[in-house]
Copies of this chain bind each other. A is one copy, B any other.
Amino acid sequence: MDFKSWSAERAAHFELCAKKALPPENRLPWKLHEAMRYAVLDGGKRIRPLLAYAAGDLVGAEEEALDHIALALEYIHSYSLVHDDMPCMDNDTLRRGKLTTHKKYGEAMGMLTGDALQAQAFFELTQTKLPGEQISMLVKLLSGAAGSTGMCGGQAVDLLSVHQKLDLETLTLMHRMKTGAMIRASALMGLYGAKTMPPVFLVGQIAQYADSIGLAFQVIDDILDVTADTAVLGKTAGKDAAEDKPTYVSLLGLDKSREMAQNEINKALEALKNIGEHSAEYKGKTQRLSDIALYILSRDH
């Protein structure tokens, strides 16, 4: 199966899982459950679930466990978008072509929807049939990536650096926390979806792979903000420059940014090659991860 078919199949499978797993709209409080479903269903590239599925395949993780992991990751990602879109943050009206959650359900409900989705993410992890040690590790990885030294921390750095000139190092640190930490957790959590703990070597290489594609993802985002049409992008192009936000393009220019993205993807592919060379067990099983890296480099939205 080629990458396009595989990722479409996984995304469709994920959608079914989410429809089943999210609290139903007819369960009290129905309005909150409706808003939670609105925020998660029918949206996004599902990069985090794809990473978890692809990494999980490497170690022969059970699909049932990977489903719960994918759901937890996407609940956290979705909650962060709901809160990000609120008036006190980015004040956005549209997301994935639909009204943002707080625009549709009101601000108070938007906040509660995000809060409830975060709790639901951790609840979801306890629903796997994995040994308790693995579940504990998954909770640790996800909470670490979502919290103050991960995603929330990166948003705080972003917030505190408005109208400030960031250097390349601080910009990269900010992105490593804001999006990188969850990308890393996505791939690593896939590895912990098997019934036994993954070998240390594998964890190290997958962390390297994930850190590189996470950074490349952000650099490409900055490039697309300058080069893509709003229609293709699905969100307002040129927004970063209009808001005088520091980006890789503003710091490095377009050519050097493209070079940086390519370098990071090379590093990611190198890590995958190391895995294949280190153990025959994983040889030929890194194709999906490699596909995801190349997709990130070539995406146009």
Chain B residue at smallest Cβ distance from A79: B115
Chain B residues closer than 8 Å to A159, beta-carbon distance: 108-109, 112
Interface residues of A in 114-158 (CB under 8 A from B): 114-116, 118-123, 125-126, 131-137, 139-140, 142-144, 146-150, 152-153, 155-157
Q: A109-B156, A109-B159, A156-B31 are known contacts. Are A119 and B132 too (CB-CB below 8 A)? A: no
| A118 with B116: CB separation less than 8 A | no
Docked-complex contact A119 and B131, CB < 8 angstroms:
no
> Per DSSP, are chain A's interface residues mostly helix, strand or loop, or mixed?
helix
Given contacts A143-B126, A144-B123, contact A32 B153 (CB under 8 A): yes
Which stretch from A43-51, A81-89, A92-100, A256-264 is at the chain B interface?
A81-89
Q: Is A107 at the interface (CB under 8 A from chain B)?
A: yes
Bound form: Cα–Cα A241–B153 in Å: 40
Among residues of B, the one whose C-beta sits closest to the C-beta of A150 is B119
Q: Can you name the residue of chain B whose Cβ is closest to the Cβ of A125?
A: B139
Whole-angstrom CA separation of A30 from B144 in the bound complex = 16
Q: Is the CB of B23 within 8 A of A152?
A: no
A112 in contact with B155 given A136-B136, A146-B119 (CB within 8 Å): yes
Please tell me how many copies of the chain the complex holds: 2
A110: nearest chain-B partner, CB-CB? B88
CB distance from A130 to the nearest CB of B (A): 9
User: Complex formed: what's the CA distance from A152 to B150 in Å?
Assistant: 23
Give the complex CA separation of A80 and B108 in angstroms.
13
In Å, the complex CA distance between A80 and B111 comes to 11
Given contacts A120-B143, A136-B136, are A152 and B112 in contact (CB under 8 A)? yes
Q: Which of B28, B110, B115, B122 contacts A114 (CB 8 A)?
A: B115
Asked if A29 CB lies within 8 Å of chain B CBs, one says: yes
Q: Which residues of B contact A110 (CB under 8 A)?
A: 88
Q: A86-B88, A132-B133 are in contact. List 19 more A-B contacts (CB 8 A).
A: A28-B149, A28-B153, A28-B157, A28-B173, A29-B156, A29-B157, A29-B160, A32-B156, A83-B115, A112-B156, A116-B152, A119-B146, A120-B143, A121-B143, A122-B143, A123-B147, A126-B143, A132-B132, A136-B136
Closest 9 CB pairs of A and B: A132-B132, A119-B147, A132-B133, A88-B107, A123-B143, A32-B156, A116-B152, A126-B140, A116-B148
Residues of A within 8 A of B (CB): 23, 27-29, 31-33, 36, 79-80, 83, 86, 88-89, 106-112, 114-116, 118-123, 125-126, 131-137, 139-140, 142-144, 146-150, 152-153, 155-157, 159-160, 173, 177
